[in-house]
Chains A and B, each alone.
Chain A
């Protein structure tokens, strides 16, 4: 009976609590936040919010200090616009998943980040921003990535990537290695590092368990392969006449890195964060990533000397390049019910001091012209390579939507020995045709 009494008591408590809690309004947090649809359910706690206040939902893929910065600016915006409240959200790793489901249900946030996919993925959900005050100030390097031939401006790019492989400057110094500017030089550098360190330091660290790191390699080197040299295959790719057998060299090079011992042994099971740790601890020299890895590595080792180099060229006589594209952006949902408030929000972020702050948090160039950015420890590299060309990430211009994953998975398979580089090319070509046809 003791047990029965206790369970009864517990159950009653549970039921009472649940009745109390379930009839409470859906948001117990201090700031009363009403749903963004105008036909809001009237709730008692919302009575103290004046009827004209508009609430916009804002979501970003950024996390950590970058997200905090964005939120800080959002709160300043709120302070200057008392009739607009911002529901800010930074879900982290599953941002993309969440966005896909929301797109499927046509339930987008009023303002959201597009992380490189403004035209290709989110395009049909974005409001045209060409009439906004800052539209004329788009930096020429980023302009092609966020506009199209009809003149539509898809998003506000606050900053832009200027990316090439990252390296550990101390490691290069220790083994007396110069930053390689061609692929041949790169392989030579790897050999030097491997020999001099007796295998203790890996030349390139790849966190292949996160398949995007493999795709990153392809994305980086597709440009020096097919776009940056003269003559190049840019047009061939665009009109579907590209000879894909030329692409095999990329898969072959990747495999060669592995067979020569220039790639970390656990390339297929290590994660991106392991690459950051390896670079930070001096266990690896290069990583096919961008400035973003510097930030992460510094968290493990504040003394880490991060360097950025341009992507080595593949073709004789060609110069190295940088990859560019969107980084932190804001787009407005074309079906938003608070488009005016959303636009105000976006325009607030377009102000010079805000653009500068965002770009500096990522140590990359700004997306609008006329804004000086202090890139901190990366400044020397941007200055050193200032006259090299920047090309938008290969896959965002020359590959149909859905190809990214194809590159990632086939690259993994090549490294795993499951398919040959030629077979990888076959798969890539097949998918290219299939996905291009269904666009």
Chain B
């Protein structure tokens, strides 16, 4: 430690002419060069297009024609006065926050269960993770076949139980919750794996010491496991919130935003406005709203959770 301190105290020793370059590479600032490739990629493929994209929200472009004109804030005004916008915001929040809640609670529960020494836990873990591997368009059809009114798997069960078949996705609010459940089912494997890793990272000594002191399983979980899991929780929750708020594929394959506009998220509505509604300006305005909304939730949850992390 002393040597380190002394070399820090005498930086001047380093800065002879021949050592300028060397001293640059010794300083932390030089490391900033390392993220330049990443920044370049962002600048070219994301920020430049975003700037263009923002421009679109001030036009009445239909998405393909070479002719359009500027309309100022017209599209934003339209967006904020259209009742659909608010319904869709609520849906998006349900998808994002609802999925995240369920995925994390279930993911943690699964992880705790499958962390214990059970035979065949590897297989169960794998099957839980599998939906992530299947192409979303295919999984979408599988889910559609489960919830289909005529001949769907769920309704077959209903009939077998002697009940009437139900048009599961035909009711707006019910469709939104079903989509949230499906999304949870799809991606909870990711949360599970993150928590499995987190659980395995907890030094056994802490838990054993607590047991010696007579702590119950529940107490151990609340006061030792959970706090030490905070980094895992942060990662899982932040990623889930962002992905959940951006939800797109599951909605398109199950209901395509229907019935009517009942189950649209900001993401699917944006796509519908652009491709079907031929209103690129409105779509772009909605996209900007979506960005602001998700940033709000994503970044604030990140800051909040990081603050709760416990240092070992």
Direct contact of A and B (CB under 8 A): yes
Instruction: Return A154 CB to nearest CB of chain B, in Å.
Output: 16
* 8 A Cβ contacts from B30-72 to A: 60, 62-67
Asked whether B259 lies within 8 Å of A269 as measured between CB atoms, the reply is yes
Residue B278 CB within 8 A of the other chain: yes
Q: Which of A33-41, A96-104, A145-153, A193-201 contacts B (4 or more CB under 8 A)?
A: A96-104
Given A106-B66, A121-B64, A124-B66, A266 contacting B149 (CB threshold 8 A): yes
Residue A338 CB within 8 A of the other chain: no
Instruction: Return A100 CB to nearest CB of chain B, in Å.
Output: 5
Instruction: Return B178 CB to nearest CB of chain A, in Å.
Output: 11
Contacts of B170 in A (CB 8 A): 266, 268-269
Given A211-B256, A402-B277, A418-B260, A100 contacting B63 (CB threshold 8 A): yes
Considering the chains assembled together, what is the distance between the CA atoms of A268 and B175 in angstroms? 12
Asked whether A103 lies within 8 Å of B150 as measured between CB atoms, the reply is no
Instruction: Return B186 CB to nearest CB of chain A, in Å.
Output: 20
Proximity string of chain A (131-164) to chain B, C-beta cutoff 8 Å, 1 when within and 0 when not = 0000000000000000000000000000000000
Considering the chains assembled together, what is the distance between the CA atoms of A415 and B262 in angstroms? 13
Residue A276 CB within 8 A of the other chain: no
Contacts of A104 in B (CB 8 A): 63-64
Residue B169 CB within 8 A of the other chain: yes
Considering the chains assembled together, what is the distance between the CA atoms of A129 and B64 in angstroms? 22
Contacts of B172 in A (CB 8 A): 416
Contacts of A209 in B (CB 8 A): 169, 255-256, 258-259
Asked whether A405 lies within 8 Å of B149 as measured between CB atoms, the reply is no
Residue A422 CB within 8 A of the other chain: no
Shortest Cβ distance from A403 into B: residue = B278
Asked whether B62 lies within 8 Å of A402 as measured between CB atoms, the reply is yes
Proximity string of chain B (265-294) to chain A, C-beta cutoff 8 Å, 1 when within and 0 when not = 000000000111111000000000000000
Contacts of B63 in A (CB 8 A): 100, 104
Shortest Cβ distance from B64 into A: residue = A103
Contacts of B261 in A (CB 8 A): 409, 413
Asked whether B260 lies within 8 Å of A409 as measured between CB atoms, the reply is yes
Asked whether B66 lies within 8 Å of A438 as measured between CB atoms, the reply is no
Considering the chains assembled together, what is the distance between the CA atoms of A106 and B259 in angstroms? 35
Instruction: Return B137 CB to nearest CB of chain A, in Å.
Output: 9
Shortest Cβ distance from A404 into B: residue = B276
Proximity string of chain B (77-120) to chain A, C-beta cutoff 8 Å, 1 when within and 0 when not = 00000000000000000000000000000000000000000000
Proximity string of chain B (137-170) to chain A, C-beta cutoff 8 Å, 1 when within and 0 when not = 0000000100011100000000000000001111
Residue A265 CB within 8 A of the other chain: yes
* 8 A Cβ contacts from A184-226 to B: 208-211
Asked whether A283 lies within 8 Å of B150 as measured between CB atoms, the reply is yes
Which one of B258, B262, B277 lies within 8 Å of A405 (CB-CB)? B277
Asked whether A269 lies within 8 Å of B169 as measured between CB atoms, the reply is yes
Asked whether B275 lies within 8 Å of A268 as measured between CB atoms, the reply is no
Instruction: Return A214 CB to nearest CB of chain B, in Å.
Output: 10
Asked whether A405 lies within 8 Å of B276 as measured between CB atoms, the reply is yes
Contacts of B256 in A (CB 8 A): 209-211
Shortest Cβ distance from A100 into B: residue = B64
Residue A274 CB within 8 A of the other chain: yes
Which one of B259, B276, B278 lies within 8 Å of A401 (CB-CB)? B278
Q: How large, as a class, is the contact surface on chain A? A: 35 or more
Asked whether A416 lies within 8 Å of B150 as measured between CB atoms, the reply is no
Residue A270 CB within 8 A of the other chain: yes
Contacts of B258 in A (CB 8 A): 208-209, 211, 268-269, 412
Considering the chains assembled together, what is the distance between the CA atoms of A124 and B167 in angstroms? 44
Residue A278 CB within 8 A of the other chain: yes
Considering the chains assembled together, what is the distance between the CA atoms of A379 and B64 in angstroms? 40
Contacts of A210 in B (CB 8 A): 256
Given A103-B65, A266-B167, A274 contacting B150 (CB threshold 8 A): yes
Contacts of A416 in B (CB 8 A): 172, 259-260, 262
Considering the chains assembled together, what is the distance between the CA atoms of A283 and B149 in angstroms? 13
Contacts of B148 in A (CB 8 A): 266, 269-270, 274
Instruction: Return A268 CB to nearest CB of chain B, in Å.
Output: 4
Instruction: Return B170 CB to nearest CB of chain A, in Å.
Output: 5
Shortest Cβ distance from A121 into B: residue = B64
Contacts of B65 in A (CB 8 A): 103, 124
Given A413-B260, A438-B60, A402 contacting B278 (CB threshold 8 A): yes
Pick from B168, B170, B277 the residue with the most CB of A within 10 Å: B170
Contacts of B276 in A (CB 8 A): 211, 405, 408
Given A211-B258, A269-B149, A274-B148, A401 contacting B167 (CB threshold 8 A): no
Considering the chains assembled together, what is the distance between the CA atoms of A274 and B63 in angstroms? 31
Contacts of A412 in B (CB 8 A): 258-260
Instruction: Return B87 CB to nearest CB of chain A, in Å.
Output: 11
Considering the chains assembled together, what is the distance between the CA atoms of A181 and B62 in angstroms? 39
* 8 A Cβ contacts from A323-342 to B: none
Asked whether A265 lies within 8 Å of B277 as measured between CB atoms, the reply is no
Shortest Cβ distance from A94 into B: residue = B275
Asked whether B259 lies within 8 Å of A270 as measured between CB atoms, the reply is no
Asked whether A405 lies within 8 Å of B60 as measured between CB atoms, the reply is no
Shortest Cβ distance from B280 into A: residue = A104
Proximity string of chain A (75-111) to chain B, C-beta cutoff 8 Å, 1 when within and 0 when not = 0000000000000000000001101110110100000
Contacts of B62 in A (CB 8 A): 401-402
Given A402-B277, A402-B278, A438-B60, A268 contacting B259 (CB threshold 8 A): yes
Considering the chains assembled together, what is the distance between the CA atoms of A101 and B49 in angstroms? 14
Considering the chains assembled together, what is the distance between the CA atoms of A211 and B66 in angstroms? 27
Pick from A96, A209, A412 the residue with the most CB of B within 10 Å: A209
Instruction: Return A161 CB to nearest CB of chain B, in Å.
Output: 21
Asked whether A265 lies within 8 Å of B167 as measured between CB atoms, the reply is yes
* 8 A Cβ contacts from A256-280 to B: 264-266, 268-271, 274, 278
Shortest Cβ distance from A123 into B: residue = B65
Contacts of A124 in B (CB 8 A): 65-67
Considering the chains assembled together, what is the distance between the CA atoms of A301 and B60 in angstroms? 47
Considering the chains assembled together, what is the distance between the CA atoms of A211 and B261 in angstroms? 11
Instruction: Return B127 CB to nearest CB of chain A, in Å.
Output: 25
Q: Which residues of B are in contact with A by a Cβ distance under 8 Å? A: 60, 62-67, 144, 148-150, 167-170, 172, 255-256, 258-262, 274-279
User: 20 A-B contacts, Cβ less than 8 Å apart?
Assistant: A99-B64, A100-B274, A104-B64, A124-B66, A124-B67, A209-B259, A210-B256, A211-B276, A266-B148, A266-B150, A269-B148, A269-B149, A269-B167, A269-B169, A269-B255, A270-B150, A271-B144, A274-B148, A402-B278, A415-B259
In the complex, given contacts A103-B64, A266-B149, A413-B260, what are 11 additional A-B residue pairs having Cβ atoms less than 8 angstroms apart? A100-B64, A101-B64, A209-B255, A209-B256, A264-B150, A266-B150, A268-B260, A269-B258, A269-B259, A271-B144, A416-B260
What are the 6 closest A-B residue pairs judged by CB atoms, nearest first?
Answer: A266-B149, A103-B64, A268-B259, A269-B169, A402-B278, A405-B276
